Amino acid sequence: MKQLRFDFNNMFDFSIGKTHGVTDQDLQRIRKQAEQAHAHLQAILSDRSKRVNLCLEWAQLPFQDKAQVRQIQRLGNEIARRYENVISLGIGGSYLGLKAAQDALCPPYYNEFDGLRKGRPRIYFEGNNLDPETLSALLKNLDPRKTFVIVISKSGETTETKAAFAVVEPWLKKGAGPRYGRQIVCITDPNSGALRKKVNAHQAADPQSFRNLPLLKGVGGRYSELNMGLLHLAIVGVPIADVLAGAAAMSRRCAQPQLRKNPAYMYAALQTIAYRSKGKPIAILMPFAETLKSTADWYCQLLAESTGKKFSRSVKVNDQGREDWLMDKQHIVNLGRTPVPSRGTNDLHSIQQNNIEGANDKTVTFIRVESFTNDIRVPGAGDILSGQPFSRLLSLAQEATEWALVRQQRPNCTVIMPGITPYHWGGLLFFFEMATAFEGELLNINAFDQPGVEGYKNYMYFKLKKPGISSEISDEIKKNPLKKNKLFIL
Ligand code: PA5
């Protein structure tokens, strides 16, 4: 089986010059830190209790229990056989991986054409925004008797998902009757949260109602596609074993200590050097494949929530050798590259102008696909395009973009995918997950929490008068209202 490859030639001084390119000395300088980061990660990854405690259990997902996967597969097949539509509710890590999988691994226009779906249900993603238009339109047009609902929320408390489910549940009940709960599966924390409470209450009355798949302990939202996303893969008919096998193969490559042998470590090291020493805080991910655009969206969440941090990490080890990662409030670092999702060739006619001639403050990561399942040739004769396969034009456009960036001394690198197959997509996900975890180590931040997203939630909860808000939070909001001076609004 051909494996993913990582081409990092254009990150180096020999391609783009010393001012913007990484030198051998830069790589030498980061080597020691990389060795320490590897040793630290491996010490955690080799011990289940440490993995779970620090939220690194995602790294074991490629090797998860096969019997459990088969059970998910059976449930997915049952849903696929009995329903025409599935509404999947979730946001952030409970949505982006599923959407990425849907776009990459299902045929394009899957929802539109029966033949492409091979009798499987249409999938509609909702609960990932508070915009009322999309959900209203969907529910007006779906038949609840033919629709299955999956609610995914690790915490079981997230506003967007909760609000959407509060609308979908009575809609389903009204249309499908008193046993509507049999058309719902919830994926949530096994012990806590409002959704868990609901599940437990329904399950006590009818074990077929509000069936549920527990989230594995120690797997954070954005690292959880190979956990909470499996039911969705089973419903749309993606071979889960292939996705996991690709991720497992990549996991073995990403366990190697040497930068030169470990694609994820090399990716993180080069990006960190470019960021910290060459003034490149912006990270553009540009797959040259329409169907990987949502994979770029998924990566943007992964990078932004994992590495965008105010405080550096302070590691505390107790007498039993257990580590805790605390926020070092004495050290405000405000770190993290800013990810930008993009796609070729579409964006060659938009943000590429800025990539080439705007501020030289970014790295571009391409994803290049070597072979497509369906190719077409430009018909006719007499034109330079005549007879050319689209796939060749796409590859050439990617190569041309690399060349143009190199000519302007813009750092870029390429992940080469032999094909957009379940195996290679599983590998791609794991590559980015490990690269992000390693980048977190190199930056010495906690790549597995997201304390910054609490600010907006607290403000909303305060305004919505949620009971139990701490006085510290409510005082802060009361003392610091948003200033809206009419003179400053035209
Ligand atoms: O990575 C994360 O943990 C977050 O992006 C969550 O996935 C997101 O906030 C949704 O949370 P929940 O699954 O609890 O509804």
342 & 422 share domain:
yes
Active site residue 349: yes
131 & 149 share domain:
yes
In a domain? residue 348: yes
Q: Which amino acid is at 271?
A: Q
* CB 155 near ligand 1, within 6 Å: yes
Residue by residue, DSSP assigns 138-155 as: HHHHS-GGGEEEEEEESS
102 & 195 share domain:
yes
CA distance 314 to 445: 8
Query: Sorting pLDDT into bands at 50, 70 and 90, what band is 55?
Result: very high
Of all residues in the chain, the percent with pLDDT exceeding 70 is 100
Q: Is the pLDDT of residue 379 over 90?
A: yes
61 & 48 share domain:
no
Measured from the Cα of 160, ligand 1's closest atom is: 15
Q: Which of 159, 163, 149 is nearest to 210 (CA)?
A: 149
In a domain? residue 451: no
In terms of phi and psi (left: phi > 0; alpha: psi -120 to 50; beta: otherwise), the region of 26 is alpha
Distance from Cα 191 to the centre of ligand 1, integer Å: 16
In a domain? residue 448: no
pLDDT tens-digit readout, 142-175: 999 999 999 999 999 999 999 999 999 999 999 9
In a domain? residue 292: yes
Cα of first residue to Cα of last residue in the chain, in angstroms, is: 61
400 & 429 share domain:
yes
Average pLDDT, the chain: 97
Question: Crossing angle, helix 263-277 and helix 422-443, to 10 degrees?
Answer: 40
216 & 127 share domain:
yes
HSE-CB for 108 with a 13 A CA cutoff: 10
Q: Is the pLDDT of residue 214 over 80?
A: no
For every residue of 265-315, which 3-state class applies, written as one string?
HHHHHHHHHHHHHCCCCEEEEEECCHHHHHHHHHHHHHHHHHHCEEEEEEE
pLDDT tens-digit readout, 337-368: 999 999 999 999 999 999 999 999 999 999 99
Q: Which of 223, 190, 191, 192 is nearest to 45 (CA)?
A: 223
112 & 31 share domain:
no
CA distance 12 to 238: 38
Active site residue 457: yes
Q: Which of 58, 126, 68, 60 is nearest to 98 (CA)?
A: 126
227 & 263 share domain:
no
- List the catalytic residue out of 146, 173, 217, 457: 457
Q: Which of 209, 239, 269 lies at the terminal end of a domain, its last residue?
A: 239
In a domain? residue 211: yes
196 & 162 share domain:
yes
Q: Which of 239, 272, 307 lies at the terminal end of a domain, its last residue?
A: 239
Query: Sorting pLDDT into bands at 50, 70 and 90, what band is 97?
Result: very high
Mean pLDDT of 293-316: 97
Distance from Cα 101 to the centre of ligand 1, integer Å: 17
Measured from the Cα of 305, ligand 1's closest atom is: 1
Of all residues in the chain, the percent with pLDDT exceeding 90 is 97
Query: Sorting pLDDT into bands at 50, 70 and 90, what band is 215?
Result: confident
* CB 188 near ligand 1, within 6 Å: no
Q: Which of 304, 444, 326, 322 is nearest to 51 (CA)?
A: 322
Domain hosting 169: range is 57-239
- List the catalytic residue out of 126, 305, 433, 441: 305
Which of 58, 88, 155 for a ligand 1 pocket mutation test, highest count of atoms within 8 Å of Cβ? 155
Distance from Cα 386 to the centre of ligand 1, integer Å: 48
67 & 174 share domain:
yes
Query: Sorting pLDDT into bands at 50, 70 and 90, what band is 320?
Result: confident
Please enumerate in sequence order all residues whose Cβ is within 8 A of that of 59, keeping only pairs 6 or more positions apart, or say none. Answer: 45, 51, 251, 433, 434, 437
Per-residue burial over 407-421, b if 16 or more Cβ lie within 10 Å, else e, is: eebbbbbbbbbbebb
Q: Is the pLDDT of residue 438 over 90?
A: yes
Q: Is the pLDDT of residue 321 over 90?
A: no
Mean pLDDT of 247-259: 97
**Count of the separate structural domains present in the chain:** 3
Are 253 and 328 in contact by the 8 Å Cβ rule? The answer is no
Mean pLDDT of 224-243: 98
Nearest CA to ligand 1 atom 3: 221
Query: Sorting pLDDT into bands at 50, 70 and 90, what band is 319?
Result: confident
- Collapsing DSSP states into helix, strand and coil, what is residue 211? strand
What would the two tokens of residue 208 be? 């077929």
Distance from Cα 153 to the centre of ligand 1, integer Å: 7
- List the catalytic residue out of 32, 140, 316, 349: 349
Active site residue 202: no
- Collapsing DSSP states into helix, strand and coil, what is residue 452? helix
Nearest CA to ligand 1 atom 9: 92
142 & 177 share domain:
yes
CA distance 103 to 108: 7
170 & 267 share domain:
no
In a domain? residue 90: yes
* CB 93 near ligand 1, within 6 Å: yes
pLDDT tens-digit readout, 70-96: 999 999 999 999 999 999 999 999 999
The total number of residues shown for the chain amounts to: 490
Distance from Cα 232 to the centre of ligand 1, integer Å: 17
Distance from Cα 405 to the centre of ligand 1, integer Å: 36
In a domain? residue 449: no
H/E run at residue 26: helix 24-45
* CB 154 near ligand 1, within 6 Å: yes
Which of 56, 58, 88, 91 for a ligand 1 pocket mutation test, highest count of atoms within 8 Å of Cβ? 91
**CATH code, 386:** 3.40.50.10490
* CB 91 near ligand 1, within 6 Å: yes
Question: Between 320 and 371, whose confidence is greater?
Answer: 371
- Collapsing DSSP states into helix, strand and coil, what is residue 468? coil
Nearest CA to ligand 1 atom 15: 153
Q: Which amino acid is at 22?
A: V
CA distance 42 to 262: 13
